[in-house]
Amino acid sequence: MATSLLLANVCVGTLLAVAVMQAVAFLVDTWKKRSLMRRLENQGKPMPPFNLLFGHLLEAKAAADELPPGAHSVYILNRMATKYAPRGAYYVDLTPMAWPMLVVTDPYLATQVVEHPLVGAYKPEELYAWFHPITNGQSLFTQNGAAWKHGRDYFLPFFSNQNLDASIPFVVGQMTIFREKLREKAANQGRTKSRSSDMFVLEPLVLSMMNDVIGKLVLNADLGTQHGSNPLAETMLRQLQLKFAINNPLDNIGQLNPLKKFNMWNNSRILDSHIKTQIDTRLQAYRSEKTQDEQNDFKSLLDVALETHMGRGSTDSLQNNVSAGFTKTLCSQMRMFFFAGYDSTASTMAYCCYTVWKYPEVLRKIRAEHDQIFGVNIDSATNTISENPAILNSLPYTTAVIKETMRLFPAANGIRHGHRDLVLRDKEGNEFPTEGCSVQMLHYATQRNPKVWVRPREFLPERFLVEPEHELYPAKGAWRPFEYGPRLCTGQQLVMKEVKAFLVLMAREFDIKECYDEIDGGRKLDLSHVDFEKAHLVEAGAAHPRADFPCRVSFSRYHSNTT
């Protein structure tokens, strides 16, 4: 009895000691960060009113309270930028919710970050912590130095233009399935007495389509989620839902929930099991194709990685197998590519449905361009693209529409970690030290910055068609959805091909009308701090349109003027 009591006391004492040590470490770390911000404030650096106890949390809370419910945290930073960043950058300390930040809203300063030899190619450690629930390990998005270059070399052959074009017939095939679903919605338009029954949310259908696209392109797996359920896809989506269950960045209490952590760990384990099964399947196919000299029309990322790995003369290649270590690394990479490949692209497609049909003149011009390139037979465009994917390069106005959509509704921001050798300088010579801060390149604010863009809130695809001397022509580095520098998005060509094909198949056949006023039910939302956008950004991995983009779809009855 005495021994049990002694052991209990020791355990309790140990737990208390650990708790005290963690509390002390937390307080010391917080004090260091607060002291840094105090020094910067004393130097006259731009920032919101600073509180030594709360940092800028109170100011962030005040900015959040001005926003519509569920609005993306980018609007919080943008709101503070309008008040405190007259020179294109400001400091903010949201410890313990985030690392102290230098928020950049000017492309001239952002370019200095991504082109810096020490900072530009280095992704911060806090990004790995953010991605870990998604990837369960290091991935190309978070690796640095030799590990990043080594990983990049594994996957680069997939992103060749020849391989991407070879994948387009499959991509278009999945889009025709999506189009059939819209045709069903359009055919049912007006058949029911209840007008509300005609309304639906578009983005889940787009996400399902992109699930199938990315499942094939990344894993060479036929997921078929547009027709039914798939265990691998369901587990991946569940992992993302667990990761993004908490939308408010100022409320991280859920991260302390042990049940949530267990659920995430267990689901991650199941997800790896599904991916390992697919790795085994593709490894067997590699052995067979190597023997039979057979090739698919295009190579998936997984097939490219296996082919590269097995061709490097490693122990695995000699044994015609892959090690447990390589398999684990490959699982993390596949999870990252799956998330990055479907989520932000689906968001861009949904926002194109918002912007194109919001502006009648834009819709008229994009339809006219599709008539000119593909002819007046709308259905024939599918075969034309599949037989000649390069034809997608002949759509300058469609490309400009996509770019303008991505300008106004960027799916993500850029982030790097500061360094004592990186001091940003604006054109007037004002300096912004970065040591001790993460550098947040706020694309939303940069791409709507009135000092950089003419008529920044207007939807003007012509910005990307005019000559450099024109006032609308974008300033250098001002358009940055794919970022710049050595860590720019390797998938940008694929994204543009996918979204262009999507618009070609949708723009002429359908009319799409957003239904935000209906779902708001007469509520008067204050949209003044989200640039009066009904479909403002919300957090769900990448930034997505509010409420999954509620809409109605009908057949356009469009008649070409082309003869």
Three-state SS string over 201-232 comes to ECHHHHHHHHHHHHHHHHHCCCCCCCCCCCHH
Q: Please compute the mean of the pLDDT values over residues 535-544 and round it to a whole number.
A: 93
Tokens (6 digits) for 477: 């580095």
pLDDT at 318 over 60: no
The residues, any chain, with a CB within 8 Å of residue 363's CB and separated by 6 or more, are 356, 357, 507
For the residues 339-361, what does the mean pLDDT come to? 97
Other CB atoms within a 10 A radius of the CB of residue 559 amount to: 8
**What is the radius of gyration, based on Cα positions, of the chain?**
25
State residue 193's pLDDT score. 57
Supply 414's token pair: 């850029």
Question: Which residue did the predictor score with more confidence, 9 or 362?
Answer: 362
Percent of the chain residues topping a pLDDT of 90: 78
Cα 503 from Cα 206, distance rounded (Å): 12
Strand (E) or helix (H) holding 177:
helix 161-187
pLDDT classification of 380: cutoffs 50, 70, 90: very high
Using an 8 Å Cβ cutoff, are 249 and 97 in contact?
yes
pLDDT level of residue 254 (50, 70, 90 thresholds): low
Query: Using a CB cutoff of 8 Å and minimum separation of 24, what contacts does 325-330 make?
Result: 327/276, 327/279, 328/137, 328/272, 329/137, 329/138, 330/275, 330/279, 330/302, 330/305
Long-range contacts of 234-239 (CB under 8 A, 24+ apart): 235/267, 235/270, 235/271, 235/274, 236/271, 236/335, 236/338, 236/339, 237/211, 238/267, 239/133, 239/134, 239/264, 239/267, 239/268, 239/271, 239/335
Burial class of residue 8 in the structure, from the number of CB atoms within 10 Å of its CB (0-12 exposed, 13-18 middle, 19+ buried): exposed
| One-letter amino acid of 536 | H
Q: Cα–Cα distances in Å, from 143 out to 63, 332, 334?
A: 34, 11, 14
- The per-residue DSSP string of 148-174 comes to HHHHHHHHGGGGSHHHHHHHHHHHHHH
What does pTM read for this prediction?
A: 0.93
**Of 152-156, 429-433, 511-515, which gets the smallest average pLDDT?**
152-156
Residues 119/433, Cβ–Cβ less than 8 Å: no
Bridge partners of 510, per DSSP, are 555
Q: What is the pLDDT at residue 12?
A: 65
Q: Return the structure tokens found at 250.
A: 């100022």
In which band, very low, low, confident or very high, does the pLDDT at 250 lie, cut at 50, 70 and 90?
A: very low
pLDDT exceeds 70 at position 18: no
DSSP 70-103: TB-THHHHHHHHHHH-TTSEEEE--TTTS--EEE
- Indicate whether 410 pLDDT > 50: yes
d(CA 163, CA 463): 31
Going by C-beta distance under 8 Å and a sequence separation of 6 or more, which residues neighbour residue 109?
88, 89, 424, 426, 432
Give 450's contacts (C-beta < 8 A, 6+ positions apart): 456
Residue 61 pLDDT class (50, 70, 90 cuts): very high
Binding residues for heme: 489
Nearest to 196 by CA among 511, 510, 551, 549: 551
Assigned token pair, 235? 């587990």
Any idea what the Cα angle at residue 236 is, between residues 230 and 241, rounded to 5°? Answer: 120
Q: Is the pLDDT of residue 344 over 90?
A: yes
The structure tokens 């007037």 sit at 428
pLDDT at site 251: 46
Q: List the domains of the chain with CATH numbers.
A: 45-555 (1.10.630.10)
Q: How confident is the model at residue 523 (pLDDT cuts 50, 70, 90)?
A: confident
- Greater confidence (13 vs 432) lies with 432
Q: What is the mean pLDDT of residues 449-468?
A: 98
- Signed CA dihedral, 216, 219, 225, 227: sign only: positive
Contact 423, 437 (CB under 8 A): no
Least confident range from 25-39, 176-190, 322-336, 487-501: namely 25-39
Return the bridge partners of 424, or none.
432
**Which token pair is 113?**
């970050």
pLDDT tens per residue, range 167-189: 999 999 999 999 999 999 999 88
Q: Per mean pLDDT, which range of 122-126, 157-161, 255-259, 309-313 is the poorest?
A: 255-259
pLDDT at 52 over 70: yes
| 396 confidence band (pLDDT: 50, 70, 90) | very high
Lowest-confidence region among 66-75, 117-126, 201-210, 219-228: 117-126
pLDDT for res 144? 94
277-295 pLDDT per residue, tens = 999 999 998 888 754 444 5
Binding site: what residues are annotated? 489
| For residue 541, pLDDT beyond 90 | no
Residue-averaged pLDDT of the chain: 91
Return the percentage of the chain with pLDDT > 70, whole number. 89
β-bridge partners, 513: 552
| CA-wise closest residue to 62 among 42, 40, 92 | 92
pLDDT at 192: 62
- Can the peptide bond before residue 117 be classed as cis, meaning omega within 30 degrees of 0? no
